[in-house]
Amino acid sequence: MSMFDPVRVFQCPNCNETIDASALQCRFCSAPIDPDMAEAASAVMAKVNQACSDASFIKTTAWAILVAFAFRFVPIVSGLGSMAFLILLVAVPAMALRWWTKFARIVSSEADFRRARRTVAAIGIPVSILLVMVLAVLFLGLSAPFRNR
C-alpha cells in the first residue's frame, strides 16, 4: 500500500466504531472481522463519503450563484457577474443530476448521507426551476424584437 492509496475504512458491525478494512479484528471490541465483508463495507462507506462531499460542493456552488447575481449590480464586474451567474445556473442542476445518477442507488442509514440526499434535492430542484425561468425570460426577451416583423 502506497501513501497515495485511499484508506479503506468501515464501521465495525459489532460496536459501530470506524476501523481499517484490513484489520482481522476490531481494535475497539475485538470482534473478528470477515475480510470480504470488510472490503464490501469499506467500498460502500467510500461511496457514501464521496456522495456527502459532492453534495457539500453542490451546496457551496449554489451559494456562489447568489454571489454572482449580486456581482451583476457592481459596475466594474457586472459582465463577469452575469456570465458567472448563467454558468453556475447551468452547472448546479447538471451537478445535481450527476449526483442522483451516481449515488441514488446507495442504501445507507447514515445520517450524513440522508442529509446529503436532502441537500441535493433541496438545491437541485429549485435551481433547475430557476434555470428554466431564466432561459424562458432570455428566450422571450431575445425573440421579442423579431415577433413584430
pLDDT at 4: 61
Residue-level pLDDT at 102: 96
Query: How far apart are alpha carbons 35 and 107 in whole angstroms?
Result: 21
Position 3 scores a pLDDT of 58
16, pLDDT greater than 70: yes
Tell me if residue 25 falls in helix, strand or coil. Answer: strand
The interaxial angle of helices 78-103 and 35-71, nearest 10 deg, is 160
CA separation for the pair 3, 103 (Å, rounded): 27
Whole-angstrom distance, CA of residue 12 vs CA of residue 33: 8
Smallest CA-to-CA distance from 21 within 45, 38, 46, 44 is with 38
Q: What is the pLDDT of residue 2?
A: 57
pLDDT for 118 equals 96
Q: What would the pLDDT profile of 23-70 be if each residue is shown by its tens digit?
A: 899 999 999 999 999 999 899 999 999 999 999 999 999 999 999 999
Q: Are 24 and 32 in contact (CB under 8 A)?
A: yes
- For residue range 61-105, list pLDDT tens digits in order: 999 999 999 999 999 999 999 999 999 999 999 999 999 999 999
147 pLDDT more than 70: no
- C-alpha 3: how far from chain center: 26
pLDDT at residue 138, as a whole number: 83
Q: State the greatest distance between any 2 C-alpha atoms of the chain, in Å, as a whole number.
A: 81
Residue range 129-146, pLDDT digits in tens: 999 998 888 888 766 555
